[in-house]
Structures are given as C-alpha cells and as structure tokens.
Amino acid sequence: MKKTLIIAGLLLAGSLLSAQPLRLSHLFTDHAVFQQEATVPVWGWGTPGATVALKWDGSTYKTKVQADGNWRVQLPTTEADGKARTLTVRSGKETLTVNDIVLGEVWLCSGQSNMEMPLSGFGFQEVEGATEAIMAAPETATQVRVFDIKTPKRYEPQADVDAAWAYSNGAVASRTSAVAYFFARRLTKALDVPVGIIVNAWGGSRIEPWMTRETINAAGLTRQELDELYAVEDVPERWPETPETIWNGRVAPIVGYTAKGIIWYQGCSNMSQPHCYDKLQKAMVEMWRRRWGQNLPFIFTLLAPYEHGDADGRWRPHFVVNQLHTEEILSDSWAVCTETLGNKVTVHPAQKKEVADMMVQRALQNVYGMDCGVSIELPRLESVEYLEDGRAKLRLTQVWSNLGSISAREVVGFELAGEDREFHLAQAQIDWDGQTIYVECPEVPHPVAVRYSFRNWMGANLQKSNGIPVPPFRSDDWEY
C-alpha cells in the first residue's frame, strides 16, 4: 500500500511539474487577419494530455496537448465577408478568447532597411507622401492590420514572438514599414478585403540570418563562396550577420501562419556576393516554402541606384543583374525595378509608394490573376546591331508600350565601348516605334559593346511609358 502511494505521489508530482497555463501564440490576438479560403493552423501550449477545444465560425474543433506541451488545430476559412469573428479556446477550466478576427489577405513583409523604413522616415531621410498617408490612415485603419515583429537576434529557435495585431491608425501607420503599408493599403482597395501584413524587417541585415546554416550549405555555392560568406564578422548587439539569427528569433516562431505570399526588399548588405546572391535568395525562399507547407509567391525589389562611395563603381549593377536572375531559377518569383527611383546621396529612396505600387501590380497580375490593364514585365535586351555609321541599334523585349525617359527628352544611362574595352558615356535616341533605341558616342566610332545603367549611380531614366523602369543590362560578358 505504501509503495502504491509513493508511485501515485510521484505521478502526481510529475503531472504538476508538466502542467502549464493554456496559451496561444502571439499571432492569435485581437484584430488578427486570417487568410481567406484556406486552412489556417492555430497553435499554442497547455498541459500535456489535456483536451483543447476551439470554437470557430459555429463549429468546434478538438485536439490533445502533446507531450512537449504543444497543440495545433487546423481551422477552415471561407471567402472574406467583412464579418468580425471570435475564436474561443478552452481546456479544462481555462478559456481564452480572441476577438475581432477578420478574413482577408495575409502577406509576409521582410528585408532590411528599405523594407524597415517607416512612413515617418529615418533621420534626415523622408518618405514621399508620408504626411498625407498618415493623415488618411484612419480611413482604412480596420482594413489594414499590422503585426510588427521586433524580436532581437537569437542563437536558438524561439517558440513565440512578442507582438500583437493592431489597426493601422495614424500612430501605428507612422511607425510601420512604408513599403508594407503602401502595399497593404493599395491591395485592400483593389481587392476590397482586409489585408494583414506581418512586418518582419531588420535594417542592415544580410540574407544569411534569414535561413539556417543547413540551407546555406545546400544552396549550391562554391567552397570559396561559402568560406567568404562565413568569414563575415558577427558584431554582437549590432546588425545581424550570423546565419540563422533572424530565422531563429523572428521567422521560426511564425512558420505556418497561413499567408498569401512574401514581399522582400533586401540585398544592399550582400553586394559583395554578386555571383551567388541569386542562389542564396532561391535557397531562402524554398526553405520558407518547405517550412510553411505553401508555395508562397515571392515578389522582390531590385536595389536602386546609389553612389556607394563611388558613383562610377560597377558593383551595384552587377549585383542587380544577379538579383534579377532569381526570376529564372525560382518558380513563382517576380522582380520590381527601382532603377529610376534611386538617390545619389542616400541608399534609402524616398519613393516607397512607387515601389509598393509595382509590388501590388505584380501581386494582382501574377498572384491573383487579375488584368492590371498595363504591361508590368521588365524589359530585357533582345538584340544589338552595330551599324556602319557607328551607332548601336538595340531592341528590347517586353516593352509592349512605348519606351521613354522620365524627362521625355534626353535619355541618360547608356555607354559604349570599342575594342579597347573602355566605356564612354553615350547619347541615346528612342525610335518612333517606341521599342528601338539608337546609341552613339563620338569617342567610340566602332562600338563592340553597349551597357545601360551599369554604374552605381548615373541618373539613368529609361522606362516604359507606364512608369515601369528598365533594369540595368549589357551586351558584353567582361568581368568588370
């Protein structure tokens, strides 16, 4: 009898030690947005073995808390209908209630400082149209909802994040990513449904902290590229550079929260890798897709022109060309170009709304299958012919609408080189067909190569007539 009591006491003590309060992930707070017409996982923690019952949309869903204290339930969602819903979670005598959940579109918004830059701007760096946007924020405050993650870097995967969903009133909008906010505001108007943005950006971050070392090692990099990557110094309590540190603290805890897609604005801190960034970007996205169990569409921004200490340097355009290559090696990925939006003296262009608008156009056409009424594809160099009079005749693909410069006069950004491989600034003229460009330069009477916007900063201004910039291109394959 005594032995039985001892065993019973030990079992009771063990159960008490493993008991824990019923909890939900911070992703499930008042004002949350659930992806419409999907299966949405809801998860949290509780006492192992206990039953957890979720009441959602008139139905009840039950599960058991696993031995490690975790529980998860899949909830179905219908088409967005403007109705505010309540989620009730019960286990034993404990009850949790999440109010004002709406169905709509959920987007993951990540990157470094150009994604992080809030509507209110950075010091001495403004966001165009910010005052008007902040003043107008109450108009769509309940339709655009924000989940803003600020977790520090972590060296071990975290289970939760300290954040909560919020209406995008003026106070919230002013400190929210300008690109993400403009994207959501435009999208909610276009689709007439609520839009939830999970803002998860860290200024100065490289791409490596956004994924695991295992993913990096399997990305197809050469041994030299991997050695150079891992040689980057990690500065404690500063910008994260060490692989996994953002993934652990900011991404792992939200994995699985059903979303429509990803918008991404990053790359400046990786410009030393102009030959392998596309592989890293592809590896990161494929890892996220695997972990989410979704083929998340990926819309990313090409780096804008900026002098980077040497306006005539060429490392930025080399990097941008590599960025753009991601479209070719990663399914369901689309780039937006900022070649006419840069600023010589700041790496943070003020035209965040234009970037967001192009992202929305990509989303509407490529993700939602809507006709935007304009061609949003980026022009590419199709052919070059060197004429007897010394001019280079260029044809671009995917123009559809006429080419033009922002000024509608002088076209800026072209260079020609002869057999000596020395490039000189050149004059360009757009033919009346709107798709052919003639380039000439007195210093290069017999050109053999042509480049466009192939310096860190040139003030390049070529774009389609609907405002879509032409990205950097070149006809040569020279190393520099």
Instruction: Summarize the chain as % helix, strand, coil (round to 5).
Output: 25, 30, 45
Do 65 and 137 lie in one domain? The reply is no
Residue 5 has pLDDT above 60, yes or no: no
Residue 375 inside a domain? The answer is no
Q: What is the CATH number of the domain that holds 38?
A: 2.60.40.10
Residue 372 inside a domain? The answer is no
Residue 441 domain boundaries: 380-474
Nearest alpha carbon to residue 354 among 469, 259, 231, 196: 469
Percent of the chain whose predicted confidence (pLDDT) is above 70: 93
**pLDDT, tens only, 212-248:** 999 999 999 999 888 888 876 555 555 668 899 999 9
| Three-state secondary-structure class, residue 137 | helix
Residue 11 inside a domain? The answer is no
Give the residue from 70, 103, 136 where a domain finishes. Answer: 103
Do 316 and 241 lie in one domain? The reply is yes
Side-by-side strand order, sheet with 427-430? 380-386, 392-397, 436-440, 427-430
Do 113 and 178 lie in one domain? The reply is yes
pLDDT at position 435 is: 82
Residue 266 inside a domain? The answer is yes
Question: DSSP for 418-441?
Answer: -TT--EEE-EEEE-TTSSEEEEE-
Nearest alpha carbon to residue 121 among 298, 348, 415, 410: 348
| Three-state secondary-structure class, residue 316 | helix
**pLDDT, tens only, 175-205:** 999 999 999 999 999 999 999 999 999 999 9
pLDDT at position 375 is: 83
**pLDDT, tens only, 262-293:** 999 999 999 988 999 999 999 999 999 999 99
Residue 8 inside a domain? The answer is no
Residue 10 has pLDDT above 50, yes or no: no
Do 250 and 218 lie in one domain? The reply is yes
Q: Are 352 and 117 in contact (CB under 8 A)?
A: yes
Residue 385 has pLDDT above 70, yes or no: yes
pLDDT at position 196 is: 98
Residue 171 has pLDDT above 70, yes or no: yes
CA dihedral 54, 60, 61, 63 (to 10 degrees): 70
The domain total for the chain is: 3
Do 119 and 153 lie in one domain? The reply is yes
Percent of the chain whose predicted confidence (pLDDT) is above 90: 83
Q: In b/e form, how buried is each residue of 53-82, taking b as 16+ CB within 10 angstroms?
A: ebebbeeebebebeeebebebebebeebee
Residue 457 inside a domain? The answer is yes
Give the residue from 367, 398, 427 where a domain finishes. Answer: 367
Give the residue from 367, 399, 422 where a domain finishes. Answer: 367
Residue 74 inside a domain? The answer is yes
Which has the minimum average pLDDT: 76-85, 244-253, 390-399? Answer: 390-399
Residue 25 has pLDDT above 50, yes or no: yes
Do 123 and 63 lie in one domain? The reply is no
pLDDT at position 235 is: 57
Do 342 and 414 lie in one domain? The reply is no
**pLDDT, tens only, 143-167:** 999 999 999 889 999 999 999 999 9
Do 470 and 363 lie in one domain? The reply is no
pLDDT at position 167 is: 98
- How many Å apart are CA 348 and CA 352, to the nearest integer? 9
Residue 2 inside a domain? The answer is no
DSSP for residue 39? E
Residue 66: pLDDT band with limits 50, 70, 90: very high
Do 167 and 268 lie in one domain? The reply is yes
**pLDDT, tens only, 312-351:** 999 999 999 999 999 999 999 999 999 999 999 999 999 9
Residue 26: pLDDT band with limits 50, 70, 90: very high
Residue-level length of the chain: 480
pLDDT at position 12 is: 41
- How many Å apart are CA 184 and CA 240, to the nearest integer? 27
Q: What is the CATH number of the domain that holds 470?
A: 2.60.40
Do 90 and 126 lie in one domain? The reply is no
pLDDT at position 418 is: 97
Residue 433: pLDDT band with limits 50, 70, 90: confident
Residue 402 has pLDDT above 90, yes or no: no
User: Which position has the higher pLDDT, 274 or 15?
Assistant: 274
Do 82 and 197 lie in one domain? The reply is no
Q: What is the CATH number of the domain that holds 335?
A: 3.40.50.1110
Chain-wide mean pLDDT for the chain?
A: 92
pLDDT at position 374 is: 80
Q: Cα separations (Å) of 1 from 4, 6, 14, 364, 478?
A: 5, 9, 20, 72, 87
Do 309 and 458 lie in one domain? The reply is no
